């Protein structure tokens, strides 16, 4: 038999997750919350099976399962498990794997919701967290307490300054489970599992769904581990909506062309900003002057669709946000519209000034999520907004 050539991930994305649709090319929306059974034995079998599809939608749902299969295929994973949001994925995974007395090692540069979760609910439940600086080599492994550390959490590239965790280093850690929030990379930009990491996590609300019309989280990894997390997730209740899973599955079909276009534009914007007199620093791993560019070239398949940069102060940032015409002032990322946000007053507003300083969220920091508009138009918009005078 002739072995078919290995497909590119963007090609796999076109057909990934096509169980349950028969000859239909588009997935079906299974809105049902419950399924009929054929008597007690059958009902018992469904109620006690792992991730049985035709029982009750908090346990599993065929439309959601198609989305999970698609993500698993793109991540090169045995399985995936979806949640009602990215934070749902984080909270349920942490509580599934940790309990009172457990210890977590986490990167300091994190999505503010993740940081707030680790500092608030986790501490209240008696889970200790050690935060490390991701730019210090070996910091994750050094902070592990043998026998107590249950989970090591990284976010790479990180929000909002695009710092990278060394995935080989994380994958080499033995003992605790390792988790990478890979949202900024999408499954086409990075493959944490191939580096030995246990769990790849995404807020699928972002690039995976890609159209600002779904709120969804997902993790990918070995089936046994995900089944264990599922057993807790059913009780946690951060259940994904089948409608959002359907939208995300449609988004996955175009993930290849979308991320290619957005990456090209992001690179052009980064190069333009790096040369601009109003801009002091550009944070984009694709630039050769980025302090982690060498690591980026080793582990990123695409440098990314998000970048951040610094202008003089809050007033200059405010002027920029008030002057953009194509870019819209909104949080979130990975969608068709170019979005701009000021992390200090929005995504990271809940942090104290000291925490903002520790995570590199300065008053002049601006984050851009590059959309699908023509590159020349995005460039022109950013240039005219930077030229706006007080
Ligand atoms: C948005 C985001 C989250 C949270 O995801 P939600 O879907 O908003 O709950 C987590 N991590 C990163 C890196 C994100 O960008």
Ligand 1: nearest atom to the Cα of 184: 13
Does the 9-30+61-253 domain belong in CATH 3.40.1160.10?
Answer: no
Ligand 1: nearest atom to the Cα of 217: 7
24: left (phi over 0), alpha (psi -120 to 50) or beta: beta
CA of 111 to the centre of ligand 1 (A): 7
pTM of the model: 0.96
Per-residue confidence (pLDDT) for residue 356, from 0 to 100: 85
State the CATH architecture for 256-387: Alpha-Beta Complex (3.90)
Per-residue confidence (pLDDT) for residue 257, from 0 to 100: 98
Euclidean distance between CA atoms 107 and 139, whole angstroms: 9
* Nearest protein Cα to ligand 1, atom 4: 86
Per-residue confidence (pLDDT) for residue 2, from 0 to 100: 67
CA of 203 to the centre of ligand 1 (A): 5
Instruction: Tell whether ligand 1 has an atom less than 6 A from the beta carbon of residue 206.
Output: yes
Instruction: Tell whether ligand 1 has an atom less than 6 A from the beta carbon of residue 86.
Output: yes
Per-residue confidence (pLDDT) for residue 350, from 0 to 100: 84
Tell which one of 90, 113, 158, 190 to mutate to probe ligand 1, the residue whose CB is within 8 A of the most ligand atoms. 113
Tens-binned pLDDT, residue by residue, of the chain (390 aa):
667 678 899 999 999 998 777 888 888 999 999 999 999 998 899 889 999 888 999 999 999 999 999 999 999 999 999 999 999 999 999 999 999 999 999 999 999 999 999 999 999 999 999 999 998 999 999 999 999 999 999 999 999 999 999 999 999 999 999 999 999 999 999 999 999 999 999 999 999 999 999 999 999 999 999 999 999 999 999 999 999 999 999 999 999 999 999 999 999 999 999 999 999 999 999 999 999 999 999 999 999 999 999 999 999 999 999 999 999 999 999 999 999 999 999 888 888 888 888 888 999 999 999 999 999 999 999 999 999 877
**Residues of each domain in the chain carrying CATH 3.40.640.10:** 9-30+61-253
**Residues of each domain in the chain carrying CATH 3.90.1150.10:** 256-387
């Amino acid at each position: 038999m002739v072995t078919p050539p290995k497909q590119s991930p963007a090609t796999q994305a076109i057909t990934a997750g096509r169980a349950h649709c028969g000859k239909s090319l588009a997935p079906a929306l299974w809105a049902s919350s419950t399924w009929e059974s054929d008597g007690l034995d059958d009902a018992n079998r469904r109620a006690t099976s792992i991730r049985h599809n035709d029982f009750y939608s908090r346990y599993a749902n065929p439309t959601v399962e198609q989305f999970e299969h698609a993500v698993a295929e793109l991540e090169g994973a045995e399985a995936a498990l979806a949640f009602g949001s990215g934070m749902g994925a984080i909270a349920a995974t942490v509580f599934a794997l940790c309990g009172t007395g457990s210890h977590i090692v986490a990167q300091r540069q994190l999505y503010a919701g993740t940081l707030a979760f680790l500092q608030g609910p986790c501490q209240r439940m008696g889970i200790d967290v050690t935060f490390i600086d991701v730019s210090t080599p070996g910091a994750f492994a050094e902070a592990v307490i043998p026998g107590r550390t249950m989970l090591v959490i990284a976010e790479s590239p990180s929000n909002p300054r695009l710092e990278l965790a060394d995935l080989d280093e994380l994958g080499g850690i033995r003992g605790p489970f390792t988790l990478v929030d890979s949202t900024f990379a999408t499954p086409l930009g990075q493959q944490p599992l191939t580096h030995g990491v246990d769990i790849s996590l995404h807020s699928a609300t972002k690039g995976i769904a890609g159209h600002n019309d779904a709120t969804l989280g997902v993790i990918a990894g070995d089936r046994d581990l995900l089944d264990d997390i599922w057993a807790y997730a059913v009780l946690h209740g951060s259940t994904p909506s089948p409608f959002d899973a359907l939208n995300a599955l449609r988004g996955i079909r175009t993930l290849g062309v979308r991320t290619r276009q957005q990456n090209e534009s992001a690179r052009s914007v980064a190069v333009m900003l790096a040369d601009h007199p109003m801009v002091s620093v550009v944070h984009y791993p694709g630039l050769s002057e980025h302090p982690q560019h060498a690591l980026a070239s080793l582990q990123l398949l695409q440098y990314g669709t998000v970048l951040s940069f610094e202008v003089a102060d809050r007033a200059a940032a405010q002027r920029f946000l008030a002057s953009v015409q194509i870019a819209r002032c909104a949080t979130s990322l990975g969608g068709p519209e170019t979005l701009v946000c000021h992390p200090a007053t929005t995504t990271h507003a809940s942090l104290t000034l000291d925490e903002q300083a520790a995570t590199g969220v300065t008053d002049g920091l601006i984050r851009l999520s590059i959309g699908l508009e023509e590159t020349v138009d995005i460039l022109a918009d950013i240039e005219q907004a930077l030229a706006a005078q007080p």
